Amino acid sequence: MEKRNELYRGKAKSVFTTDDPDRLILLFRNDTSAFDGKKIEQLERKGMVNNRFNAFIMQKLEEAGVPTQFDRLISDTECLVKKLDMIPVECVVRNFAAGSLVKRLGVEEGMALTPPTFELFLKDDAKGDPFINASHVFAFGWATPEQLARMEELTRKVNEVLNKLFDDAGLLLVDFKLEFGLFHGEIVLGDEFSPDGCRLWDKETRKKMDKDRFRQGLGGVIEAYEEVAQRLGVPLA
């Protein structure tokens, strides 16, 4: 597979075209950002950890019947993925109250949410990824009712699969965001699943094991990511 031009450069990943029009290469960089890019640092090993973590999770989801963008690892920091026509809507599931939900509703952090909540956000960094609802999605043509229903179905399936996976590793899957796209007309899970895009707490101590360690200046960010990976059995070497 020939790596060609940089198609897109995000806050932590770069996307490259290949000699196959249906495939792209994702490069996971060591860049770490928070607060819409206002806080940025380089964290050694982060690109490698997130690339291998994402590969492990995507393979688990594929085994459970969730179609994903992921094809295979290429190197420590790169993977080959299907080229999707991305839908600019983030699907967020919350199993416990944290982050923006606590600020919006004034509820206590860590409160169990039964059933889990399902929320939608517009993927637009310039606007701060605003909270939206289904009628916005349909009115602005971001997705059809059938596509959004499939996105919600798959998001809830991901929650079911990963809740058990993380629980078995002594972790709470607090919340996470997913992005989807179209591949030859089919809704497919895209982007990545790593501690950058979810909240994970130790089940016993409630120690934060995700990007909140960076956001809140707690330190030990990559050490926490690596501990989560090791608990799950993600091969990092």
Q: pLDDT for 167-215, tens place per residue?
A: 999 999 999 999 999 999 999 999 999 999 999 999 999 999 999 999 9
Cβ neighbors of 37 (< 8 A, separation 6 or more) are 11, 125
Residue whose tokens read 């909540």: 117
What pLDDT, in 10s, does the model give residues 138-151? 999 999 999 999 99
Segments making up each domain of the chain, as ranges: 3-82, 85-220
Pick among 3.30.470.30, 3.30.200.20, 3.40.605.10, 3.30.2020.30: CATH of 3-82: 3.30.200.20
Residue whose tokens read 């637009």: 124
Residues in the chain: 237
**pLDDT score, position 166:** 98
Judge whether residue 226 has pLDDT over 90: yes
Tell me how far apart the alpha carbons of residues 178 and 172 are, in angstroms, rounded to a whole number.
17
Residues 64, 161: contact at Cβ < 8 Å? yes
Portion of the chain with pLDDT greater than 90, in percent:
94
Task: Tell me whether domains 3-82 and 85-220 share a fold.
Answer: no
How many C-beta atoms lie closer than 10 Å to residue 108's C-beta? Answer: 7
Sign of the torsion angle spanned by Cα atoms 94, 112, 170, 223 = positive
Judge whether residue 98 has pLDDT over 90: yes
Which fold would CATH assign to domain 85-220? D-amino Acid Aminotransferase; Chain A, domain 1 (3.30.470)
pLDDT category, 40, cuts 50, 70, 90?
confident
110: left (phi over 0), alpha (psi -120 to 50) or beta: left
**pLDDT score, position 61:** 98
What pLDDT, in 10s, does the model give residues 82-96? 999 999 999 999 999
Portion of the chain with pLDDT greater than 70, in percent:
99
